[in-house]
């Protein structure tokens, strides 16, 4: 003979106790644990009010073949200079020295993105001239694609001076991204896709290093060449050029962006629900093992 459910209904069982009993105390403690512990967990995991996040990306960097070089040849303010901007070179007159420049960009891991720049610059000096300092500006195009698309032009600035005249300056370091503001997590960002050095200008003020760097540092997104240990070599032969060798690496960057508010809220709700339900399970199993006559409103599905 086959059986089937004719009718079913839930049954409510109430467990009663007085106010000042161990069972009441136990109920209050369990109630507190149910609501407070998930809050603590969410708060301590730094996830409840998460507003910022970060991701990693190797930028697409290309050298723009724009160079500006200044070298002091005495302690009295004499200098020689050169740049890739004809207007600036025209302003220099007798201080202009044309160096021999060789540049090579390398993609070491063959991932289609350049990893470093090697630059060698031999600046000819007259036998009576000495090099006391060197200032070198290099311009790069810098692009990010993973979240928002960022296209911008950036700088690497190298500067070194010494009281002893040198024959060679060697710098090796990373081109690091500096963010004042988190980047938007999507969209196209081309505010800074403008030349850092205005090579079209015929005025000397356009090539003043202090104003170029000053304007550049106003930006919220820049790169900085971090070279902790420049090496200055002394003892130049009378007719030898002053040499500058630079290795600029383009490392993987950690980029900050504002975190989408809806994602953490949903996540946190899930965490709360999970923790609440596991707390309730604990409460139920405690109920089963407790001998306190613990009361609870339980709906037991009555199925005969």
Ligand X SMILES: *[C@@H]1O[C@H](CO)[C@@H](O)[C@H](O)[C@H]1NC(C)=O
Q: Contact residues for ligand X (CB under 6 A)?
A: 151, 181, 190-191, 193, 220, 284, 287-288, 298
The nearest distance, CB 65 to ligand X, in angstroms, is 13
Q: Locate tokens 């996540």: which residue?
A: 267
Which own/partner pairs from 21-27 qualify as long-range (CB within 8 Å, at least 24 positions apart)?
A: 21/292, 21/293, 22/292, 23/292, 23/293, 23/294, 23/295, 26/286, 26/290, 26/292, 26/294, 27/294, 27/295, 27/296
The nearest distance, CB 294 to ligand X, in angstroms, is 7
Query: Which CB sits closer to ligand X, 126 or 284?
Result: 284
Question: In this structure, is the dihedral angle defined by the CA atoms of residues 90, 92, 93 and 94, taken in order, positive or negative?
Answer: negative
The nearest distance, CB 75 to ligand X, in angstroms, is 40
Token pair of 200 as six digits: 């079209």
Query: Which CB sits closer to ligand X, 26 or 82?
Result: 26
The C-alpha atoms of residue 60 and residue 58 are separated, in whole angstroms, by 7
Query: Which CB sits closer to ligand X, 238 or 301?
Result: 301
The C-alpha atoms of residue 218 and residue 221 are separated, in whole angstroms, by 9
Query: Which CB sits closer to ligand X, 69 or 196?
Result: 196
CA 32, 35, 41 angle in degrees (round to 5)? 115
Query: Which CB sits closer to ligand X, 210 or 300?
Result: 300
The nearest distance, CB 69 to ligand X, in angstroms, is 22
The nearest distance, CB 123 to ligand X, in angstroms, is 29
């Amino acid at each position: 003979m086959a059986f089937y459910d004719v009718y079913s209904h839930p049954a409510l069982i109430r467990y009663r106790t007085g106010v000042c009993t161990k069972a009441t105390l136990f109920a209050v403690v369990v109630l507190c644990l149910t609501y407070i512990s998930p809050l603590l967990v969410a708060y301590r995991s730094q996830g409840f009010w998460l507003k910022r996040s970060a991701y990693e990306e190797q930028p697409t960097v290309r050298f723009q073949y724009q160079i500006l070089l200044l070298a002091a040849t005495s302690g009295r303010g004499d200098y020689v200079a050169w740049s890739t901007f004809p207007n600036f070179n025209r302003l220099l007159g007798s201080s202009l020295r044309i160096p021999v420049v060789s540049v090579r960009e390398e993609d070491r891991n063959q991932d289609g993105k350049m990893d470093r720049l090697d630059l060698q610059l031999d600046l000819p000096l007259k036998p009576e001239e000495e090099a006391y300092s060197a200032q070198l500006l290099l311009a790069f195009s810098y692009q990010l694609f993973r979240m928002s698309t960022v296209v911008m032009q950036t700088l690497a600035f190298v500067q070194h001076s010494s009281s002893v005249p040198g024959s060679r300056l060697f710098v090796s370091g990373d081109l690091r991204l500096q963010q004042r503001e988190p980047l938007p997590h999507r969209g196209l960002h081309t505010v800074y896709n403008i030349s850092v050095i205005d090579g079209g200008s015929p005025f000397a003020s356009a090539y003043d290093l202090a104003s170029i760097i000053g304007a550049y540092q106003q930006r919220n997104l820049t790169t900085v060449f971090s070279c902790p240990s420049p090496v200055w070599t002394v003892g130049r032969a009378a007719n030898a050029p002053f040499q500058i060798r630079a290795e600029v690496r383009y490392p993987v960057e950690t980029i900050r962006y504002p975190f989408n508010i809806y994602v953490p809220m949903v996540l946190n709700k899930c965490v709360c629900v999970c923790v609440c339900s596991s707390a309730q399970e604990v409460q139920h199993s405690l109920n089963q093992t407790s001998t306190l006559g613990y009361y609870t409103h339980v709906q037991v599905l009555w199925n005969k």
